A and B are shown apart, each in its own frame.
Chain A
Amino acid sequence: MGHRRTNAAIWTWTLFVLVAIYLPIVCGALASFNKSRYFGFPIKTYSTEWWQKTLDSIEIGMIVKTSISIALLVTVFSVVIATFGALAFARYEWKGRRFYQKLILLPIFFPQPVLGLAMLLGFNAVGIQTSWMTAVFAHMIWIVPVVTLVIAIQVYGFDPSLEEAAYDLGCSRTQVFREVTLPLLWPGIWSGMLFAFLLSWSNFPLSLYTTGADSTIPEWLYAKMVAGYTPMVPALGTMATLGAAGLLLAGGLIGLLLRRRAAA
């Protein structure tokens, strides 16, 4: 029967995609449990020794802290900038609005290594010493547009007459924002925050050029892959992936609750 064949095709395809996506990740995770120092399959003896070493390493602790600091600052700054940016172009009619809409998207399509190098040259030219703080700025160049888009979708989704109604019912401009705009934008802002954090957390090309002497997780992984591989590389990689997945899951659940409260 046609229906059964369609179903079979859908299942086969879905399974294929899932395997294709997750097999490398699973392999990476398995590699981190290899007792031997060298990368290779099949794994002869399993051990959690490298995980323990990774957790104990002071160097890795610092790198994780750097990555988290960058990601947190990027999240806070991009969400504030993106929220007002999204309101500006989705809610208000002004000269140059359409141009701004296009312009803000441009950095997303710019190759990141080129963007990173350009920023490094820029920082040097104006005499700014690169460090993890300059990386925050670099990440934002790429992440603010993405977050603006995510939040703009939420802004387009709600009726501007809600704000007018609140204003008409006696609210000051700040009360309108606090009582109506912000609560209704929360689901979008929340998604934007998750995007900002995860995009910064996993960014390599921009960090490579702009962190100076500091190092982020993706940078450390790359450096150790090039020279000095130990199973700590897949171990840290797996931890970073699990951390991101955990954050996404928790964020998704909170987002679901927010959305249910805002729109249900």
Chain B
Amino acid sequence: MLQTSPAAPQSAELPKPILQLVGIRKTFGAFTAVENIDLDVREGEFLTIVGPSGSGKTTLLRMLAGMDTPSEGNITLHGQLINDVPPNKRPTCLVFQSLALFPHKSVGENIAFPLKVKGVDPAARKARALELMRVVRLPESYFDKNVMKCSGGERQRVALARALAYDPEVLFFDEPLSAIDYKLKKTLEKELKDLHRETGKTFIYITHSLEEAMVMSDRIGVMRAGRIVQIGTPEEIYGAPVDRFVCEFVGEVNTLKVTRGPDGAWQGVDVPGTFTLAPPRSGADLKEAFVVVRPEFMRILGPGESADNRLEGVVYNEYSLGSRIQYQVRVGAKVMLVELSRGRALPASADRKVTLGWDAADAFTLES
């Protein structure tokens, strides 16, 4: 049930697909890791597949790189079937989660490795390796350095340069930034995005961090239990999630279950009240639905302020998130989250009894 966001621009003026997946399925014994995936990867795009661990994203990537063969379905590259083409015969290259740098080779030897395999002569190899070291911002003096003596960030750059030396048409990344500290990760994410623009190659990146995906990608595919649940631009994933799973993947959310009352109005199930909701995107006439409100769209109403929907609650906890403050508000048996910018924080003396409010346009009405 692959759903394309309605806002996605259609094919005509888009670059042609470089990689096409049709009905891809991968089973290991009785376990199905990847279930019926259809996907067009456009030439030159930065596509990120996000999903929790065990969602099948690594298996999907390994099939694209040629390290696993699909149990069913076809993978084509420029229209040519490549299901059974081994990795060494594919114009693709994978940057491993562990980076897989050769510990017995120097930085330069690692980067020049694909060229050595191709039979390029040593002088040309060295020249190209030094050129690539400039591209990934490694100092020339590192050429003879032992890779194992490099820092985490330097190793990332070596792995990247080595992949580029292979001159692949498509580069795959298997969460290479997962073991890097936050600040360096932010730097490397931006560098990777720059590199994508400079090289014009197709990048397919997998990660469990949607934040990472948001920063870098042209498109994001969200995977769950072996399927791509939604694929679209970062704005579409954030602004028009197809279900609660995608919403929750983006961050903490408030979810309320609602049913149609006898008069056709939406009634709360976990909290009392009648709610005004935007129609579900699918347009279906639902009997039951979920309302999802992101904490940043939930407001604490002052006297005289109005909103489409209101809830009475009691603030019982607050957390500082740096520039913002998160409040936990108990509404009946539910806990609702509200995030306010620091400038609009509740005064310490304020009544802990508050009125929450949100507008129908700021919430999602979802079937599941």
On A, residues with C-beta under 8 Å from B are: 158-159, 161-162, 164-172, 175, 179-180, 183-184, 261-264
- What are the interface flags for B30-59 relative to A under an 8 Å C-beta threshold, 1 for contact and 0 otherwise? 000000000000000000000000000000
Chain B residues closer than 8 Å to A158, beta-carbon distance: 103
Listed residue (B65, B87, B93, B100) with the most chain A CB atoms within 10 angstroms of its CB: B100
Q: Mind listing 12 A-B residue pairs with CB under 8 Å?
A: A162-B100, A164-B94, A164-B96, A168-B92, A168-B94, A169-B88, A169-B93, A170-B88, A170-B117, A179-B102, A263-B103, A264-B148
On B, residues with C-beta under 8 Å from A are: 65-67, 86-88, 92-94, 96-98, 100, 102-104, 113-114, 117-118, 146, 148-149, 162-163, 166
Q: Are B98 and A161 in contact (CB under 8 A)?
A: yes
| Contact status of A170 and B118, CB under 8 A, knowing A161-B100, A164-B100, A263-B103 | yes
Q: Are B162 and A264 in contact (CB under 8 A)?
A: no
Known: A162-B100, A168-B65. 18 other contacts (CB 8 A): A162-B102, A164-B67, A164-B94, A164-B96, A165-B102, A166-B113, A166-B117, A168-B88, A169-B88, A170-B166, A171-B88, A179-B102, A180-B102, A183-B104, A184-B103, A184-B104, A261-B104, A264-B146
3 A-B pairs closest in CB distance: A165-B100, A168-B87, A161-B100
Q: Are A167 and B87 in contact (CB under 8 A)?
A: yes
| Contact status of A169 and B162, CB under 8 A, knowing A183-B104, A184-B104, A263-B148 | yes
| Contact status of A165 and B88, CB under 8 A, knowing A175-B117, A184-B104, A264-B146 | no
Chain B residues closer than 8 Å to A261, beta-carbon distance: 104
Q: Chain A residue with minimal CB distance to B148?
A: A264
Q: Are B166 and A169 in contact (CB under 8 A)?
A: yes
| Contact status of A167 and B88, CB under 8 A, knowing A175-B117, A264-B148 | yes
How many A-B residue pairs lie within 8 Å, measured between CB atoms? 66
Q: Are A170 and B114 in contact (CB under 8 A)?
A: yes
Chain A residues closer than 8 Å to B66, beta-carbon distance: 168
Q: Chain A residue with minimal CB distance to B67?
A: A164
The docked-state distance in angstroms from the alpha carbon of A170 to that of B86 is 10
Q: Are A262 and B93 in contact (CB under 8 A)?
A: no
Instruction: For the complex formed, measure the closest distance between the CB of B236 and the CB atoms of chain A, giving whole angstroms.
Output: 32
Instruction: For the complex formed, measure the closest distance between the CB of A97 and the CB atoms of chain B, giving whole angstroms.
Output: 16
Q: Chain B residue with minimal CB distance to A175?
A: B117
The docked-state distance in angstroms from the alpha carbon of A184 to that of B101 is 12
Q: Are B103 and A262 in contact (CB under 8 A)?
A: yes
Chain A residues closer than 8 Å to B166, beta-carbon distance: 169-170
Q: Chain A residue with minimal CB distance to B97?
A: A161
The docked-state distance in angstroms from the alpha carbon of A259 to that of B103 is 11
Chain A residues closer than 8 Å to B86, beta-carbon distance: 167
The docked-state distance in angstroms from the alpha carbon of A111 to that of B166 is 55
The docked-state distance in angstroms from the alpha carbon of A161 to that of B99 is 8
Chain B residues closer than 8 Å to A172, beta-carbon distance: 88
Chain A residues closer than 8 Å to B162, beta-carbon distance: 169
The docked-state distance in angstroms from the alpha carbon of A72 to that of B325 is 74
Listed residue (A159, A169, A180, A184) with the most chain B CB atoms within 10 angstroms of its CB: A169
Instruction: For the complex formed, measure the closest distance between the CB of B321 and the CB atoms of chain A, giving whole angstroms.
Output: 37
Q: Chain A residue with minimal CB distance to B92?
A: A168
The docked-state distance in angstroms from the alpha carbon of A169 to that of B148 is 20
Instruction: For the complex formed, measure the closest distance between the CB of A170 and the CB atoms of chain B, giving whole angstroms.
Output: 4
The docked-state distance in angstroms from the alpha carbon of A165 to that of B104 is 14
Chain B residues closer than 8 Å to A165, beta-carbon distance: 94, 96, 100, 102
Chain A residues closer than 8 Å to B146, beta-carbon distance: 264
Instruction: For the complex formed, measure the closest distance between the CB of B248 and the CB atoms of chain A, giving whole angstroms.
Output: 31
Q: Are A159 and B88 in contact (CB under 8 A)?
A: no
Instruction: For the complex formed, measure the closest distance between the CB of B87 and the CB atoms of chain A, giving whole angstroms.
Output: 4
The docked-state distance in angstroms from the alpha carbon of A263 to that of B96 is 19
Q: Are B104 and A169 in contact (CB under 8 A)?
A: no
Instruction: For the complex formed, measure the closest distance between the CB of B313 and the CB atoms of chain A, giving whole angstroms.
Output: 50
Q: Are A169 and B98 in contact (CB under 8 A)?
A: no
Instruction: For the complex formed, measure the closest distance between the CB of A167 and the CB atoms of chain B, giving whole angstroms.
Output: 5
The docked-state distance in angstroms from the alpha carbon of A264 to that of B105 is 10
Listed residue (A162, A168, A171, A175) with the most chain B CB atoms within 10 angstroms of its CB: A168
